[in-house]
Amino acid sequence: MKKFTFFKTPLHWQILISLSLSVALSLLFIVTETQDSDLAHSCILVCDFFGKLFLNALNMIVVPIIVSSIICSMTSMGSHAHFGRMGLKSLAYYISSTLIAVLVGLGVANLLRPGQVNPELAQRMIRMSADNAAAVASIAQNSKISLMDIFVQMVPRNVFSAAADNGQILGVICFSLLFGFFASQLPKRYQGVQADLWQSFLRTIMMIADMIVLFAPLGAFALVTPKIIGTGLELMVPAARFLGCTVLALSIHLFAVLPAFLYFFAKVNPLEHFRAMMPALLTAFSTSSSIATLPIMMDCVEKNAGVSNRVASFTLPMGITMNMNGSALYECMVVIFIAQLYAVVDPSFCMTFVKQFTVVIMAALTSLGVAGIPSGSFVAIAVILSSLGLPLEYMGIVLVVDRILDMCRTTVNVFSDTVGAVVIARSEGETVYGSKGRSRPL
Ligand code: ASP
């Protein structure tokens, strides 16, 4: 089928141009102090409309993609040994990259100490956090779950209601894995029927995905503009140090750690991979949702990197829920930041080595259950803060800068998923980036 495009310019350039226009327009409103004018409100209303349409369109196809891609991948794998090997490799990648991410966060937070501010600034931040008391209260309400509950979600009581709720993707994945596994054990005749059925289903959904992707530049503009206009710059100043440290830690993981995985384990040129994944990264940045980015991620990993459908269909749907490097790093940064701030207010509080170690383990574990939706990691952060006896109210400070940081950590989450897919594809002997690609040979 001939692929339809609106413009000849590559998609990532189209998204970049629309993001630049979005920043320019928002700054114009901010600099001229007209964020509250009628014009700005109308602009936000129009953007909200198109942004919701785009997000809904992406979310609409996520559950069908997850279910059909996992089942297709399992039925095409055939033997148990195949499935077990790929599952173990994915798990090894998720655990190692997540642990490194948390350690990067811990290192930066301890070295640069964003929460160790003078008592006057600490009080200002705490006062500012009172403005977000309602939002914090609702997070606290949702966070009355234990670490155990996150794992209980893996077996949903009702798979349809789990599918209807964005936060319960883990349950849908487990059901699809079970279904795919037993479909591959059916007698040959029935197995063929199942494989053909789900394969044609997946292909149809991916064609819908191709069409939605064409609207990504418009979607990016519509989603980002209200965020920048709504956040304003002056509110960010008190939490600027935390913002800067978190962006630094995320950048270290994105530009040094993950490229090292690509280079050493997949022998792939990281720059080439960045270029190929650009549409997915920019969509993650604009939507702040790994789940919503899944359709574009699948497209990029299969079409631009050349990873087989078998590997991409298995690793990416699992990655968007279980491999949250950016979120794990962020959880660690927030908890250490709040602990440092709390120590300014209450000098008797001390973040001992044992407590820091607890943060590392809990951030890595809870990130497995973080939903790939905007602000999905707040529940996990609340769980860690309560277990350390730190005040949940302080999360109000972080909420001020969360919009921008959510965009950044989601980009890291998505990039790590694509790196995992490439590393596992190479370890399975696949040729990525084509035979003429510039990837270094294994
Ligand atoms: N927004 C993130 C994601 O979708 C989750 C989070 O809040 O950390 O990947």
Is residue 58 within 8 A of residue 212, CB to CB? The reply is yes
pLDDT at res. 440: 43
Cα–Cα distance measured from residue 421 to residue 417, given in angstroms and rounded to the nearest whole number: 6
Contact 54, 180 (CB under 8 A): no
- Ligand 1 centroid distance, CA of 330 (Å): 10
What is the C-alpha to C-alpha distance for residues 208 and 296, in angstroms, rounded to an integer? Answer: 11
- pLDDT tens readout for residues 96-151: 999 999 999 999 999 999 888 888 878 877 777 776 777 777 766 666 666 677 67
Domain spans in the chain, listed from the N-terminal domain onward:
11-441
The mean of the pLDDT values for the chain is 86
Tokens of 163: 């599918």
Q: Is the minimum distance from the CB of 225 to ligand 1 under 6 angstroms?
A: no
Confidence of residue 234 (pLDDT cuts 50, 70, 90): low
Q: Is the CB of 413 under 6 A from ligand 1?
A: yes
The whole-number pLDDT of residue 254 equals 97
Name the residue of 285, 293, 373, 417 to mutate for ligand 1: max ligand atoms within 8 A of Cβ: 373
Residue among 324, 399, 411, 414 to mutate when testing ligand 1 (max atoms within 8 A of CB): 324
167 Cβ below 6 A of ligand 1: no
pLDDT band at 4 (very low <50, low <70, confident <90, very high): low
Cα 415 to ligand 1 centre (Å): 13
What's the pLDDT tens digit per position in 176-195?
Answer: 989 998 998 889 889 889 98
Contact assessment for residue 253 and residue 412, using Cβ atoms and an 8 Å cutoff: yes
Structure tokens at 29: 């409103």
For the segment 333-371, what is each residue's pLDDT rounded down to a tens digit?
A: 999 999 998 888 888 888 888 889 999 999 998 888 788
Q: Relative to the CA of 413, which ligand 1 atom is closest? A: 9
Q: Is the separation of the CB atoms in 238 and 121 below 8 Å?
A: yes
Q: Is the CB of 377 under 6 A from ligand 1?
A: yes
Burial of 431 (0-12, 13-18, 19+ CB in 10 A): middle
Establish whether residue 22 lines the binding site of ligand 1, counting it when its CB lies within 6 angstroms of any ligand atom. Answer: no
Question: With 0-12 CB in 10 A as exposed, 13-18 as middle and 19+ as buried, what is 215?
Answer: middle
Distance of CA 30 to the CA centre of its chain: 28
Give dist(CA 327, CA 377) in Å, integer: 6
Nearest to 299 by CA among 421, 156, 402, 196: 421
Using alpha carbons, list the distances in angstroms from residue 298 to 238, 277, 280, 340, 384.
39, 10, 9, 40, 32
By most ligand atoms within 8 Å of CB, the mutation choice from 169, 366, 375, 401 for ligand 1 is 375
Residue 353 CB neighbour total at 10 angstroms: 7
What is the domain class of 11-441 according to CATH? mainly alpha
Q: What is the pLDDT of residue 87?
A: 87
Q: Is the pLDDT of residue 259 over 80?
A: yes
Centre of ligand 1 to C-alpha 313, Å, is 21
Residue 300 pLDDT? 93
The three-point CA angle 187-189-195 to 5° equals 95
pLDDT at 50 over 50: yes
The pair of three-digit structure tokens given for residue 421, joined into one six-digit string: 């897919």
Q: Are 342 and 299 in contact (CB under 8 A)?
A: no
Give the Å distance between the CA of 401 and the centre of ligand 1.
14
Contacts by residues 346-353 (CB-CB < 8 Å, ≥ 24 positions apart): none
3-state secondary structure string across 373-412: CCCCCHHHHHHHHHHHCCCHHHHHHHHHHHHHHHHHHHHH
Asked whether 128 and 400 are in contact (CB, 8 A), the reply is yes
CA of 374 relative to ligand 1 center, distance in Å: 5
* Spacing, Cα 33 to ligand 1 middle (Å): 31
Mean pLDDT, residues 285-291: 92
Nearest 5°: phi and psi at 53? -60, -45
